[in-house]
Chain A
């Protein structure tokens, strides 16, 4: 009996209908645009979708008067974001520049070096690859408390976690890449009487690049995750992970969302940068050719 009035209240609540109408209108617009001929119009579709989600979020929070402790409105997050740029910048430098990027560079360099070394020994390859594949599937973030114990609270321990996290995906991809040359191509190098290093430099490394970049792109996300999660286990009083845990204690949700927005932008930009370098360096590969 008590359910009926509830349903009635929901059905007659104008707020729900407003949101639904917004959603329906935006969807109809998108459905129309998706059939459009011009590619410029079609590029608008995901933008409209994203904007619609933001507007609906804002309206829902305002209409239903949702407490900012549960879900802050996008406008509040934006105000927080623009209002505390120095803090966010300090956190960004600590976590991203010092922790994630330095760990990423060290880890990827080590993985590429290891891959070139074990490439010369089939025995090592057959032994290390299954182990590498196995480790790549493990919850490696779990080593964060150990690294914090070994390397202290500052960014060195975060970089160490990142090194271990990015190492195996890059290693596995690089080893696969070094195998990507065809016998015909290697024979050609042999007829040129190219040395091992010449073959490596002029044939096998370029041929390995598409595989390598695959691993490098996966590693960008892992690097940021590793650096942030490692800060949950102990950090100086600066850093994105630290800020998130600290603000949770004070229920400062807008600040957390601002950090997440920064992390999202930084993560996408990092990925985009690596993808851009990939495009420049592997322009010859079929997957990079312009589509008709």
Chain B
């Protein structure tokens, strides 16, 4: 809680800067309009008119807040203008992909830890693949799957699964290897079988690493879903709101979709953080 005041100060400063930037960036349009109508612009007019344009270069914070409120609560949930509808489209694909991706990642990590050949063949590629801009192939996957007749939630989920897969593999391998030689020797003196030392030592000690990489993974899979929504011709989802907003110059719509995506990401990460806290607390591992 001692961070509350500084954080509030910084957030307020950002909002203040934002208003100044809105006045500065939207002023050109106001001056143009005024010159066309042959009237003079005073400071009061400038402040007023830069705050409430239909298509501002930079919408003022209250305009974005209004757009966000309209999108969330001002529409029926089934409406095409409702951010809840688009948010759900994005969220469902993200969650499906995230679950598939992390489950596959955990399985592969177990295989890597227990099989030498797998470790040496797959691990270098798993690490190298992190340096590759995987997101660039998202549109291709969508279009190819579309041409094969697979549409809807699945192509997006595949991309988001792919993006959350590698962080989980790398983190989980690190976690499963985190027990030191002394602890592994202790399990051996207990005459524990492979399964037992996995369930009672390796798996529990991997939990902090797993949750850290799950947080990275869920953020990545949300980005994957949003980018995956771009090439389908802006049908539904937060990504398509961004795209259609940019086609029609609806800046308020872009910013509202952006903040909705941000809230979604923050919510998902916070949810995993909560699960982490509960699990680690019950295991007595709270830092």
A residues touching B (Cβ–Cβ < 8 Å)?
Answer: 27, 30-31, 33-35, 42, 45-46, 48-50, 69-71, 123-128, 130-131, 134, 137-139, 141-146, 148-150, 220-221, 224-225, 228-229, 232-234, 240-241, 244-245, 248, 251, 253, 256, 259-260, 263-264, 267-268, 270-272
B181 lies within 8 A of chain A by Cβ: no
Q: A139 and B265: CB pair below 8 A?
A: yes
- Given A49-B121, A145-B243, A248-B140, is A139 in contact with B10 using a C-beta cutoff of 8 Å? no
Contact string against A for B residues 127-139, beta-carbon threshold 8 Å, 1 for contact and 0 otherwise: 0101111011101
Interface positions of B from 108 to 133, Cβ below 8 Å from A: 116-117, 119-125, 128, 130-133
A221 touches B131 (CB 8 A): yes
In the complex the two chains form, what is the Cα distance from A48 to B118 in whole Å?
12
CB distance from A227 to the nearest CB of B (A): 9
Alpha-carbon separation in the docked complex, A130 to B269 (Å): 14
B: number of interface residues (CB 8 Å): 59
Complex contact A127–B7 (CB within 8 A): yes
**Contact between B139 and A248, CB atoms less than 8 A apart:** yes
**Cβ-based interface call for B262 (8 A):** yes
Q: Chain B residues near A134: list those with CB within 8 A.
A: 266
Give A136's nearest chain B residue, CB to CB: B219
A148-B243 Cα distance, complex, nearest whole Å: 11
Cβ B135 vs Cβ A139 within 8 A = no
Partner of A245, one of B3, B120, B222, B231: B231
Contact B227 A141 (CB under 8 A): yes
Q: With A142-B226, A225-B133, A225-B135 in contact, is A45–B117 under 8 Å at CB?
A: yes
Chain B residue nearest to A135 (CB atoms) is B262
Q: Once bound together, how far apart are the Cα atoms of A251 and B119, in whole Å?
A: 37
A149 with B246: CB separation less than 8 A: yes
Contacts of A228 in B (CB 8 A): 133, 135-136
Q: How far is the CA of A232 from the CA of B246 in the complex (A)?
A: 11
Contacts A70-B148, A138-B261, A139-B262 given: A146-B135 contact, CB under 8 Å? no
B132 partner residues in chain A, CB cutoff 8 A: 221, 263-264, 267-268
A138-B265 contact given A123-B6, A268-B131, CB 8 Å threshold: yes
Which segment of B191-199, B250-258, B276-284 sits at the interface? B250-258
> What residues on B are CB-neighbors of A267 within 8 Å?
131-133
Contact sample, A vs B, 5 pairs, CB 8 Å cutoff: A46-B121, A138-B261, A229-B135, A268-B132, A270-B131
B144 on the interface (CB 8 Å rule)? Answer: yes
Interface residues, chain B, CB within 8 Å of chain A? 2-3, 5-11, 14, 25, 57, 116-117, 119-125, 128, 130-133, 135-137, 139-140, 143-144, 147-148, 215, 219, 222-223, 226-227, 230-231, 238, 242-243, 245-246, 249, 251, 254-255, 257-258, 261-262, 265-266, 269
Cβ contact of A46, chosen from B125, B148, B251, B261, cutoff 8 A: B125
A232 touches which of B57, B131, B230 (Cβ 8 Å): B230
Tell me the minimal C-beta distance from B103 to chain A in angstroms: 22
Question: CA–CA, A246 to B5, complex, Å?
Answer: 49
Residues from chain A with Cβ under 8 Å of B57 in the complex: 149-150
Give complex CA distance A229, B230 in Å. Answer: 10
Determine if A34 and B254 form an interchain contact, defined as CB atoms under 8 angstroms apart: no
Q: Are A70 and B147 neighbours in the complex by a CB distance under 8 Å?
A: yes
Give me 13 other A-B pairs in contact (C-beta within 8 A), A126-B6, A131-B7 excluded. A30-B117, A127-B7, A127-B9, A137-B266, A139-B223, A139-B261, A146-B251, A224-B133, A233-B230, A259-B136, A263-B133, A267-B132, A272-B131
A27 to B119, CA, bound (A): 12
Q: Tell me which residues across on chain B come within 8 A of A245, comparing CB atoms.
A: 139, 231
Lowest 4 A-B CB distances belong to which pairs? A127-B6, A145-B246, A49-B121, A127-B10
A145 contacts B131, CB within 8 Å? no
Contact of B136 among A130, A149, A150, A260 (CB under 8 A): A260
Q: Are A253 and B140 in contact (CB under 8 A)?
A: yes
**Which residues of chain A are within 8 angstroms of B143 by Cβ–Cβ distance?**
248, 251
Q: How far is the CA of A246 from the CA of B57 in the complex (A)?
A: 28
The answer to whether A141 touches B226 (Cβ under 8 A) is: yes
| Cα A267 to Cα B128 with chains together (Å) | 10
Residue of A nearest to B258 (CB): A142
Q: Nearest chain-B residue to A232 (Cβ)?
A: B230
Q: How far is the CB of A122 from chain B (nearest CB, A)?
A: 9
Which A residues lie within 8 Å of B258 (CB)?
Answer: 142-143, 146
- Whether B245 lies near A145 (C-beta < 8 A) is yes
Q: How far is the CA of A25 from the CA of B210 in the complex (A)?
A: 34
Known: A142-B257, A245-B231. A34 touches B117 (CB 8 A): yes
A253 to B142, CA, bound (A): 12
A144 to B122, CA, bound (A): 34
| Contact, CB under 8 Å: B10 / A46 | no
Query: CA of A259 to CA of B136 in the docked complex: distance in angstroms?
Result: 9
